[in-house]
Amino acid sequence: MNKNFRNLLGYFAANTLILTGRVKQATRKALDTECILSLYYHKPAKDEFEFSIRWLKNKGFKFISPHDIEKIINGQIPFPKGAVLLTVDDGWQTNVTNVVEVANRNKVPVTIFVSTTPAEEGAYWWSYVTQARRQGLTSFSKHALKKMPEEERIKILKEIKQMVYPGRDAMTVDQVKMVASSPYVTIGSHTQTHPILINCPETQVYEELKGSRQKLESWIGKEVAYFAYPNGDFSRREIKILKTLNYRLAFSSQPKYLTPALLRESFTIPRFGFLEGASSAENICRLTGVWHSTMQRLHHRGNQSKKDRAWYKDLFFGEDRIQKLDI
């Protein structure tokens, strides 16, 4: 589905949800019950991130950090009503101006989960793939590579990296250090190379989780105890290794409200995903969880054909398929 056409359909679908009162109901639920809006971004434009904060503030939401989540778990503070947790995955270079500067100016906490190898080398692995595809040097897509066994993916990436360099799109090590100095920014781990962990051998998973934490702590001089799963993929093995390495919280991309019951599973904390480039109306629906619940209902429609399911997947997931459901 063409991206512009997809976003236009998303705009009309979102406005329908808003006009029918679904967003108002969800907003009231989040404000009046023990229900945290746990959100994640990747590389939002400055106006997109600012819009999110402004909209949430105007509705009466309060912003919390992973440190507050730990206090809730430990019984040090009560489970809040009307709370929002902001997180950002990968550590894109644009996060410095588009996320950190906005967070500092608005005095709201934000957690950035950083992959360390791109910070050291300059670019994410999928940036190499995208560049190579644009130049007609490979037929592999990032989505195809995500599904491959790790050994095969690494072999293909090695060949691609010898042909192209997409330029820096990740924060530098010095930038990671700089943003970590903000009282509003928490740095978390997002592995070293951003592999799909469930496709990796156990020894690699262990090194990815251990090495990224050690590097980040050496860079910023602070403890790094929080983790976000690359691509949202995890299994019991990853949870076990995280616990062995003394991480304390881990974040998934399961689109659910964070309730007291779900908070007991501190290594699978759910998050709703913001979709960069989508309309403000659609992202209001995403911020409040309405978009995702609608998607789930459509997905479970019994009379849906394969063609219909593919259409809904393009509409509701967006170009980057950022929500992790088995569609």
Tens digits of pLDDT across the chain (327 residues): 567 888 899 999 999 999 999 999 999 999 999 999 999 999 999 999 999 999 999 999 999 999 999 999 999 999 999 999 999 999 999 999 999 999 999 999 999 999 999 999 999 999 999 999 999 999 999 999 999 999 999 999 999 999 999 999 999 999 999 999 999 999 999 999 999 999 999 999 999 999 999 999 999 999 999 999 999 999 999 999 999 999 999 999 999 999 999 999 999 999 999 999 999 999 999 999 999 888 777 665 545 555 555 545 555 555 444 333 322
Whole-number pLDDT of residue 327:
22
As a whole number of angstroms, the distance between CA 254 and CA 51 comes to 23
Is the pTM here over 0.85, yes or no?
A: yes
Domains in the chain, ordered, with CATH? 3-122+183-317 (3.20.20.370), 123-167 (no CATH)
Whole-number pLDDT of residue 198:
97
Three-state SS at 192: coil
- For 54, the token pair is 């402004």
- Look at residues 218, 154, 185, 286 and name the one whose alpha carbon lies nearest to residue 315: 286
Whole-number pLDDT of residue 96:
98
Residue 249 and residue 225 in contact, taking contact as beta carbons nearer than 8 Å:
yes
